[in-house]
Amino acid sequence: MKRIFTIALATVFAANLSARVNSTNGNSHSLPAQKYTPTTKLQSDEYMQNTLIIKVLPEFREKCTNEMINIPSVVDFFTMVGMDNLKKIYPNHKAPLTPLNKWGAPMIDLTLIYEVHFTSGINMESAIGKLYNQGFFEFVEPHYIPKIDFTPNDPKSANNTTNNGQYHLYKTACAGTGTTGWDISTGSTSTTIGIVDTGTELTHSDLMNQIQHNLADPIGGGDNDGDGYIDNYNGWDVAMNDNDPTWQGNAHGVAVSGDADEQCNNSVGACGTGYNCRFLPVKIADASGALTASYEGITYAADHGCSVINCSWGGLGGGAYGQGIIDYATNNQDALVICAAGNNGNDEEFFPAAYDKVLSVAATTSTDAIAGFTNYNYTVDICSPGNNINATWTSNSYAQNSGTSMASPVCAGIAAIVRSYFPTYNALQVAQRLKNTADNIYAIAPNNQAIYVDKLGTGRVNLYRALTDPNGPSIIYSNITYNDMNDQTFVANDTLRITGDFTNYLGAATNLNATLSVVVGGTYVTIQDGTTNVGALATMGVANHNADPFKVKILPTAPVNQQIVFKLTMVDGTYSVNQYFSVIVNVDYINITVNDVWTTITSKGLIGYNTTGQLQGLGFDYLNAGSLMYESSLMIGSTAANTNDMVRGAVAGNTDADFASFNAVRQTIPAIVSDFDVDGRFKDNVSTTPLPVTVHHKAFAWSTAPHRKYVIVKYTILNTGASSISNLYAGIFSDWDIDAATYGLNRTGFDASLRMGYAFCTNASGKYCGIKLLTTSAPVNHYAIDNVTGGAGGMDITDGYSQAEKYTSMSTSRVVAGATGGGADICDVVSSGPFTVAANDSIVVAFALIAGDDLTDLQASAADAQVMWDGIPTGYVTVENVGSAIINAFPNPTSGSTEIQYNIAEAGYSEIRILDATGRLVRTLGAGDKSKGNYSVQLETANLTEGMYLIQLLTEKGTITRKLIVSK
């Protein structure tokens, strides 16, 4: 059930947010949640310092024990970062026996999830990236610490808001005049609510009889039921690994226990909404009250029979581990996880509430108005009273508390009764039933404000309606995919084809129709086909529309990294539901995947990745084996105090962001120089000491041998200042992680004859990567860096990479890093200079980014790259620079003759030139003076070899180049 689905393609840590349904009678379901939220977005107290949660890929299972991952490179990494504790989080679990549950959802394997703690000061993002890039892990992420958030007031079941009242029982139709929910069902003692929280008060007179005791393991000093927990009769303290779930440090869990399930009809205190249902206390807090074992608590509750699990806690950090635990509870154990939407009072996602398959609960007041503290968002599924909720408190007392922490268990108690009443429903069907039957509260002020539209779920929960309303359809659109039919980088003029699955969780649909519209960014896209007919859909039926996709064209006016939020309206008779999902378009980076080297070119000088933390990009991938690069960027500097770039800064853990996009990179279609041309501009105007330069950068890649193992990047650096720039150097910094599994065993070298710095892994069959200077207008410089404390005799950049050090690494040489032992973690800088650039003048610096199987292979590709660079025509311009002149060839590709049609915009000399792929002139056609008008010439290709050629139209206004393919 969930979220807006935002996609930023080609991220190492997939940052996918999921789909969301909301309407006055809507439902929700979702797609995978984000795998990793960069720690820079979080406060330091929102995750455990020096601690990671990792999951090993199943193909490496035999290398894993409870306390070790016996993969040499992983062991080397752990040694390097000072690992002092590694443990399986779920040592007693077994891998699922079947891949899918009975409803077709994937079963989740918890057996390969570890927590690792290290002692070194390595940056968290760096540690995550370097470990993840080894290729052995499904995810690597911080250990997030969620928080609770509620406001205590002070002391039962009257319909009022005073300190004696429990208005929420009446507002949710549990109790009241006439027939109410409890008149239909009060739930079953066999239905258990897991209260995953700070602990409870076992001796409270209104709680003690509601606890679901583990009768198979009475207190006696042994593990009678063999579940791995000794004497877990009263529940379990997961954080402190003992059998006493009594609260410590924070009594939050006492109130939450009562909100959901304090004993009813006992002439004592107050009533929980769950009435006859029972609760299992699962303590996830340490002695101070910090929630150190939150997701482990969900797992315990799911494993021990809880069909509803309440989580009145969370935070802004969400990762793959948390989503995996939710999936495990839902898919493997058929437990419905209900979570508080958060108390930040903002339109934002809050985890675990925002995860897929969670029922997310926002808070309302006694008048059904949105509570001022609650979060609201497309991720919210439903509302529940959460203001001044009277329930159990410490020392056998009662108190009023406010927060989504209260709203969530109020809803959880109701969900438990619904599960009791509909025993054949699975967890997600119960969630959809609650959402389908909620009361519409959008007409109530301030809920009727535009900012809340569809962001309070489907309304306020109603137990009576959930038990008695007729059963209608409940449709969810999931597994959403986007396809632009080319490079999967969604830019201007691309047409997105959007498809997904329609799943019906409840009553049969007879003629389902879906219509797509845009609620954010509508002026930047055009919906070309926004309707599809699904037709009839039975309960738990699934249908896709792959044969009839939605089609959306991205317009040239779309700003860079523009979010487009779609609304999908699904209608079947009187049933109507809205679902929201989104995509990022006009991204300011381009993925190049046409040859054996896959990489990403960005709009701001970065290579491989568009952001820090190895996000938004392919890195530098050779033969689809994973990225061999951690980070890379162009560097430009004229002095030790004025060198700018986009990589690590002078303070360890910080990143310089000195360049800004001027024209976002775009693929040039049709390609002029290579099989994949990229073009863009950026400028140095955001650094603290900006250089007056604008950089026009291009990239070229070829798909035919022997040019498949490199990508060429060309930088034209224009001095936009009023005076000359002297002693200018330009180069590429790269932190290589060659064969990421053994990046600590890397070494560098320098081939002076080829003007190439290179790096390689010292392991047998280790791959090679190189940066070769192609231009000859200034000398090459190479500086190798040992990325280790002390610098191994060179500069030490582990404590920061200052402007002075960057300028030094571009203007002085150091041949070898990783020279001793088996190698080291290394970085490399290949640059050119010094240049003197006059005002309004420019220089060109070009490099080949190369990969190979060994040094000989690398050197051969370096030589091929130089030949290709030397043959690239230097005079071509785009059609925009030649007025209205045009040139085309038909047919193209051709195996015989082709007709070249061209237009002369202004009278004067013109000619058609045919060049081969190296830029060598092959033939001249139609040369001479011509008047303005249309012309054509015939090109016979019988004497041309198979391959790529360039057709150039030369005029007095400039040159236009087009590509021609000759195939035999």
Q: What amino acid positions are annotated as catalytic residues? A: 197, 252, 405
Q: How far is CA 344 from CA 5, 145, 366, 376, 544, in A?
A: 22, 16, 20, 9, 37
* Cβ–Cβ < 8 Å for 335, 367: no
Number of Cβ within 10 Å of residue 363's Cβ equals 30
Helical H segments across 117-216, by residue range:
124-132, 167-171, 181-184
* Cβ–Cβ < 8 Å for 86, 115: yes
Number of Cβ within 10 Å of residue 945's Cβ equals 9
* Cβ–Cβ < 8 Å for 415, 260: no
Own/partner pairs, 819-823, CB within 8 angstroms, 24+ separation? 819/747, 819/792, 820/792, 822/745, 822/762, 823/744, 823/745, 823/746, 823/747, 823/761, 823/762
Give me the phi and psi of 409, to 5 degrees please.
-70, -30
The two structure tokens encoding residue 669: 């279609």
> Could you tell me the sign of the dihedral formed by the alpha carbons of 602, 607, 609, 612, in that order?
negative
The two structure tokens encoding residue 476: 């969810």
The torsion defined by the Cα of 813, 816, 817 and 820, in degrees rounded to 10, comes to -140
State yes or no: cis peptide before 106, omega within 30 of 0: no
| Amino acid (one-letter) located at 166 | Q
Judged on CB neighbours under 10 Å (0-12, 13-18, 19+), 624 is: exposed
Q: Which of 684, 605, 617 is nearest to 646 (CA)?
A: 605
Number of Cβ within 10 Å of residue 68's Cβ equals 15
Helical H segments across 81-189, by residue range:
124-132, 167-171, 181-184
Judged on CB neighbours under 10 Å (0-12, 13-18, 19+), 487 is: middle
* Cβ–Cβ < 8 Å for 56, 134: no
The conformation of residue 63, written as its DSSP 8-state character, comes to G
Three-class SS of 600-669: EEECCCEECCCECCCECCCCEEECCCCECEEEEEEEEEEECCEEECCCECCCCCCECCCCEEEEEEEEEC
Residues forming beta bridges with residue 578, ordered by sequence position: 569
Q: Which of 809, 796, 826 is nearest to 732 (CA)?
A: 809
Q: How far is CA 920 from CA 236, 712, 869, 913, 959, in A?
A: 77, 19, 12, 10, 16
Helical H segments across 233-317, by residue range:
252-261, 294-303
Q: Which string of b and e fits 173-202 if b means at least 16 CB within 10 Å?
A: bbbbeeebbbeebbbbeebbbbbbbbbbbb
| Residues in the chain, total | 968
Helical H segments across 782-854, by residue range:
803-811
